[in-house]
Amino acid sequence: MKPIIKLEDVWKIYELGEVKVEALRGLNLEVYKGEFLTVFGKSGSGKSTALNMIGALDIPTKGRIYLDGKNISRLEESDLAQLRGKKIGFVFQTFNLIPSLTALENVMLPMVFQEMIRAERIKRAEKLLKDVQLEHRVNHKPNELSGGERQRVSIARALANNPDVVLADEPTGNLDSKTGDEIMSLFVNLNKKFKKTIIMVTHDMSLIKFSQRTYILKDGKDIKTIKGKITREMIA
């Protein structure tokens, strides 16, 4: 089976004046359709930069990135934006909801850029909010919602254009443990029931148990891949 996303010898080097910072140093990573994958690393491991590469938010200094078998390493930003809009949904630690819009309007927004007609946008947004158990909050703005409810809206928005991949960046970072477990259960349900490919980037060991496979990053490269349970000794 071919991977849906593949990174081959990916380097990302930032030049800060005369100083060069190697954020990624030959990262190799494969993600297969329908799996729940965690990219795990401590602060400074390169996981945020890896997130940008996996999500087509940035291009590598060198190396290749494939999405559905197509090399996207050197695409223009306009082309990358189109790919992201259709193929990848994003869930962020800080939710990134627009304060002036209701939950329904926030979920509808990505569909505007895909030129979906308004009636269809409303219908789909209402269904997605129902799927995340927020049908009673559709007309509430973010400041009227709890942290867990905001993240549920964020998840519904990520699914707006029915993407192949959902990329979650520290999705429980701003939530208490009980609410965090509820959000993780939602991701598990998306993966198992709706067959969505989930890629989660985190430094939180407690979240790894929800995924099927874990890439451990250190100093900008993958040091090991683990299936199933993980211990602290494995990441030392």
- Give yes or no for residue 50 having a pLDDT over 60: yes
pLDDT value at residue 82: 87
Q: Which sequence spans correspond to the domains of the chain?
A: 33-60+73-235
Q: Which amino acid would we find at residue 44? A: G
Q: Is 172 exposed, middle or buried (0-12, 13-18, 19+ CB in 10 A)?
A: buried
C-alpha span between 77 and 88 (Å, rounded): 15
- Residues 43-69 have a mean pLDDT of 92
Q: Which two tokens stand for residue 60?
A: 């590598």
Domain range 33-60+73-235, CATH architecture: 3-Layer(aba) Sandwich (3.40)
Range picked from 67-81, 136-150, 201-215 for highest mean pLDDT:
136-150
C-alpha span between 181 and 165 (Å, rounded): 21
pLDDT interval class at 231 (50, 70, 90) = low
pLDDT tens column, 144-195? 999 999 999 999 999 999 999 999 999 999 999 999 999 999 999 999 999 9
Per the CB < 8 A criterion, the answer to whether 214 and 208 are in contact is yes
Per the CB < 8 A criterion, the answer to whether 153 and 129 are in contact is yes
- Give yes or no for residue 236 having a pLDDT over 70: no
C-alpha span between 84 and 62 (Å, rounded): 21
C-alpha span between 212 and 201 (Å, rounded): 14
Q: Which helix (H) or strand (E) holds 150?
A: helix 147-158
Q: How far from chain centre, in Å, is Cα 183? A: 14
Tokens 């996207």 belong to residue? 72
